[in-house]
């Protein structure tokens, strides 16, 4: 058995089936870690909750919308500074957060009046915004406030506003992934088909599962537009609420993050017959193949080839400069979900990095299947890791850098392993040809920065060496 039990988790033996080391000639059936199960009591999970997956990952990137939490004000925490899904209309959705501000008395006596007042107050405060999403939280779900009825009441009273209700409390799944599912289905049930768009091209797509982290969506949509394609809606980065109501009118769903948004694509296929095409915006080769796949669907191969040639010529030389200097750098690829397989082999193939470990906080077994298939023997794969396991893995697998989130990243810094923010990026966007250069540059800067060596020196000591001997720039 290739399972790996961390020393620090010996007291939680169930953890053993959540980590594997890929063996020589292992086939996937015997070396997949378990995934998408409830976190084992006693292990301190790094996962988010189902509310977070619905609101903070998928809901809030929608731009022209008041996003209101029906719950305690603390549930609104993720906002400007913690999320980086920018929009081109002044970042309204990041700058302002709204909550009905439930208190103990509301838990006892109900919070529907409080919510009604909050909705009206928010629309009054921002009269130019006519769209709203309301998110259920654990507190409001437990007391059973009927948010759908209330939203309908307000829409009847204010005919120019439209409200979407997302019932995905924190406990509605083992992780944020449960919330992705809930909001996908809620959106297609409540909103798709309720708005008719203006069709301006013979080629019309929805671009799905991209949340515009530091501008990813802008980069990708620029390629589509240059091919003559109309991007009817983006689910949901920099997306407009009414555009997303008209998703049923696209000819093709182009899906980037399958982990978080395959559900709505599958439903659009079943209900409206719109095919789903999975693509990949990371890496020169995968991006070029993706653009060509979209082009083949519409017969736009010439247009796609022109973009591929132009962008490759423009960005490849700079990329190569970094790739040469990244060869053999050992990486722990520790994101939340799909980046585990989006990046695993392409950073090895194109940048020469050496992936020694992959993990996912909430990936399903299908994600591990794709991830483990793409790494070499000897690689450690972990599902839903805890902080101590991360530390032990760094000690045993000795990465030069880890790609992960802020919390595990701060832990890595303490043991002087540089980290890059795989979620929000350092200097993104990282998608697209230009983005791939930015990613390589960020890795280069992290790996070759002397700061991690310098931080180990005790400057209070008399024998503090003036020549610190840190890695010199190549
Ligand atoms: Fe998809 Fe995402 Fe990801 Fe994800 Fe996320 Fe994210 Fe992520 Mo952070 S939707 S699965 S829930 S690509 S927020 S934009 S970076 S963990 S790997």
70-101: pLDDT as tens digits: 999 989 877 676 789 999 999 999 999 999 99
Residue 353 pLDDT exceeds 80:
yes
Ligand 1 pocket test, pick from 61, 168, 213, 339 with the greatest ligand atom count within 8 Å of Cβ, gives: 339
C-beta 236 within 6 A of ligand 1: no
Identify the burial level of 27 via C-beta atoms within 10 angstroms of its C-beta, where 0-12 means exposed, 13-18 middle and 19 or more buried.
Answer: exposed
pLDDT of residue 77: 77
Any atom of ligand 1 within 6 Å of the Cβ of 211:
yes
- ipTM for the predicted complex comes to 0.95
354 contacts 328 by C-beta, under 8 angstroms: yes
What is the percent of the chain where pLDDT is above 90? 88
C-alpha 341 – ligand 1 centre gap (Å)? 12
pLDDT tens-digit map of 112-149: 999 999 999 999 999 999 999 999 999 999 999 999 99
Whether the Cβ atoms of residue 213 and residue 58 lie closer than 8 Å to each other: no
- According to the model, what pLDDT value does residue 106 have? 96
Give, using CA atoms, the residue closest to atom 13 of ligand 1. 57
**Does 336 sit in the ligand 1 pocket, CB within 6 Å?**
yes
Q: Is the pLDDT confidence value at 418 over 70?
A: yes
254-281 confidence digits (pLDDT tens): 999 999 999 999 999 999 999 999 999 9
What is the b/e burial string over 172-191, where b = at least 16 CB atoms within 10 angstroms of the residue's CB? bbbbbbbbbbbbbebbbebb
Up-side HSE of residue 68: CA atoms within 13 Å toward CB? 28
Sign of the alpha-carbon torsion through 165, 168, 169, 175: negative
- C-beta atoms surrounding 410 within 10 Å: 11
Decide whether any atom of ligand 1 lies within 6 Å of the 57 Cβ.
yes
CA angle 20, 259, 354 (to 5 degrees): 45
Ligand 1 and 335: CB distance under 6 A = yes
Residue-level pLDDT at 381: 97
pLDDT tens string 372-386:
999 999 999 999 999
Verify whether ligand 1 is closer than 6 Å to residue 175 (CB atom): no
């Amino acid at each position: 058995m290739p399972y790996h039990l961390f020393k620090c988790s010996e007291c939680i033996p169930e953890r053993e089936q959540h980590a594997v080391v890929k063996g020589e000639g292992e086939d996937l059936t015997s070396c997949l870690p378990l995934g998408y199960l409830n976190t084992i009591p006693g292990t301190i999970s790094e996962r988010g909750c189902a509310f977070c997956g619905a609101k903070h990952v998928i809901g809030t990137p929608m731009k022209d919308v008041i996003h209101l939490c029906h719950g305690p004000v603390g549930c609104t925490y993720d906002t400007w500074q913690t999320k980086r899904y920018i929009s081109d209309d002044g970042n309204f959705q990041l700058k302002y957060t709204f909550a009905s501000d439930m208190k103990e008395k509301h838990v006892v006596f109900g919070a529907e009046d409080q919510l009604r007042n909050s909705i009206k107050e928010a629309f009054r405060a921002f009269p130019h915004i006519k769209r709203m999403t309301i998110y259920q939280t654990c507190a409001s779900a437990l007391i059973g406030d009927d948010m759908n009825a209330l939203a309908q009441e307000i829409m009847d009273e204010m005919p120019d506003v439209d409200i979407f209700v997302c019932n995905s409390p924190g406990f509605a799944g083992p992780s944020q992934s449960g919330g992705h599912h809930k909001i996908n289905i809620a959106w297609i049930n409540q909103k798709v088909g309720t708005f008719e768009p203006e069709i301006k091209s013979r080629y019309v797509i929805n671009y799905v599962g991209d949340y515009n982290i530091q501008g990813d969506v802008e980069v990708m949509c620029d390629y589509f537009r240059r091919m003559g394609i109309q991007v009817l809606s983006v689910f949901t980065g920099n997306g407009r609420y009414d555009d997303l109501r008209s998703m049923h009118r696209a000819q093709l769903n182009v899906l980037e993050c399958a982990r978080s948004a395959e559900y709505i694509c599958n439903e659009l296929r079943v209900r409206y017959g719109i095919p789903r095409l999975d693509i990949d915006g990371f890496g020169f080769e995968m991006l070029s193949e993706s653009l060509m796949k979209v082009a083949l669907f519409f017969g736009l191969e010439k247009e796609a080839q022109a973009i591929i040639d132009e962008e490759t010529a423009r960005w490849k030389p700079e990329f190569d400069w970094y790739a040469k200097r990244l060869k053999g750098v050992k990486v722990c690829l520790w994101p939340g979900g799909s980046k585990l397989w989006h990046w695993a082999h392409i950073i090895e193939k194109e940048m020469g990095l050496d992936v020694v470990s992959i993990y996912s906080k909430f990936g399903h077994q299908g994600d591990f299947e794709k991830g483990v298939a793409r790494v070499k023997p000897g690689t450690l794969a972990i599902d839903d890791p805890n902080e101590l396991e991360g530390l032990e893995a760094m000690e045993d697998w000795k990465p030069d850098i880890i790609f992960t989130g802020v919390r595990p990243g701060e832990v890595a810094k303490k043991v002087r392993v540089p980290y890059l923010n795989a979620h929000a990026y350092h200097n993104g966007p990282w998608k697209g040809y230009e983005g791939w250069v930015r990613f390589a540059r960020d890795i280069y800067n992290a790996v070759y920065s002397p700061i991690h060596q310098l931080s180990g020196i005790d400057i209070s000591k008399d024998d503090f060496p003036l020549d610190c001997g840190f890695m010199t720039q190549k």
